Amino acid sequence: MNRLRANSLHPCNVTITIDLEDPRPNPGLPDSFVGATRELIDLLAELKVSATFFVIADLATSHPELVRGIADAGHEIALHGLDHTPLTSLTPTKFDQQTRRAKAIIEEITGRGVTGFRAPIFSLTPATLWAESLLTDQGFSYSSSLLPGRHPFFNFADAPTEPFRWPSGLLEIPSPLTQLGPLDLPFLGGIYFRYLPYWYIRRCLDAADATQSLWFYSHPHDFDHRESFYRIKNTPYWMSLLLWLNRKGTLGKLRRLLKEPAITIAAPFADQVASGKFAQAATFQPAAAAPVSPPEC
């Protein structure tokens, strides 16, 4: 323990991102994620951190004042989809229609343009490559939608680990990963950030490749320790339980991360893109596109 404490973290620059979603199986349940989101916004304000919020458009429709408040607090509002359907369950046509609608909903609510997109559950994979050109056509300038490694759910194992451009010109900012046995895990967010010990996360940050863009991601439910248990739609019982447990310490853990002397917090992604930070990103030419996946719902 003392040895770990004595280890200094090398300087790193981390972008803070939040996926603002409402996983309640029905809207009749208490929306305690609103209070959890406000606690998170208060922490960011206290530490003078501006973040990128990837917002589900249906949530923006049901809670417009929450989303407007986040934008007014100086955070970037980007898009996380209309209703959190993974890209793998959509056809290109459906994705195109839904995303255009979702972008318009959020722009109407905030009065600001939306330039960033994150696919639900990192579902930009070789099977959903069609999405990148559609996003460019719709005016998005960047995406942060894939896991460039081996993961049991969704992954794009051949994608570069550093920011790159798709053939359409869209910038992709892949998730930072750490290797754990046969898997590559997005250690700096979600359930991984919640369950992995802090010293391990710190060690992963210290070992990160300098070419990677380091970004943290989380959801209101990661902090929402007051929420009652419920089975999440289309999710096994054990996964719902795993997602419900171990939430109470997350806000304190994030505070600790944000206060690490070696960590500087980057501006929201849109500002980084506008500043030309990724101007030199190389174009990635993926292998031949996989056939279009059939819709599952």
The minimum distance between CB 121 and Zn ion, in angstroms, equals 6
Q: Which parts of 111-263 fold into alpha helices (H)?
A: 130-137, 190-195, 198-207, 220-223, 237-244, 250-258
**What is the per-residue binding string for Zn ion in 93-132, x denoting contact by CB under 5 A?**
---------------------------x------------
Residue 150 CA to residue 152 CA, distance in Å, equals 7
Burial class (CB in 10 A: 0-12, 13-18, 19+), 140: buried
The minimum distance between CB 233 and Zn ion, in angstroms, equals 13
- Under rule CB under 5 A, residue 31 binds Zn ion: no
- Residues 215/176, Cβ–Cβ less than 8 Å: yes
- Residues 206/8, Cβ–Cβ less than 8 Å: no
Q: What is the DSSP letter of 18?
A: E
Burial class (CB in 10 A: 0-12, 13-18, 19+), 91: middle
C-beta closer to Zn ion: residue 19 or 162? 19
Distance (Å) of CA 163 to CA 34, 122, 166, 210, 212? 32, 15, 10, 11, 7
C-beta closer to Zn ion: residue 143 or 162? 143
- Give the footprint of Zn ion on residues 196-225 (CB under 5 A): none
C-beta closer to Zn ion: residue 21 or 31? 21
Taking Cα atoms as reference points, which of 138, 128, 41 lies closest to residue 98? 138
C-beta closer to Zn ion: residue 213 or 218? 218
C-beta closer to Zn ion: residue 146 or 281? 146
Taking CB positions, which residue lies at the least distance from Zn ion?
Answer: 19
CB atoms within 10 A of CB 165: 18
Question: What letter represents residue 144's amino acid?
Answer: S
C-beta closer to Zn ion: residue 21 or 172? 21
Q: Tokens at residue 272, please?
A: 């980084």
- Residues 54/88, Cβ–Cβ less than 8 Å: no
C-beta closer to Zn ion: residue 17 or 115? 17
- Give the footprint of Zn ion on residues 7-26 (CB under 5 A): 19, 21
Q: Binding-site residue total for Zn ion (CB under 5 A)? A: 3
Q: Which positions lie near Zn ion, rule CB under 5 A? A: 19, 21, 120
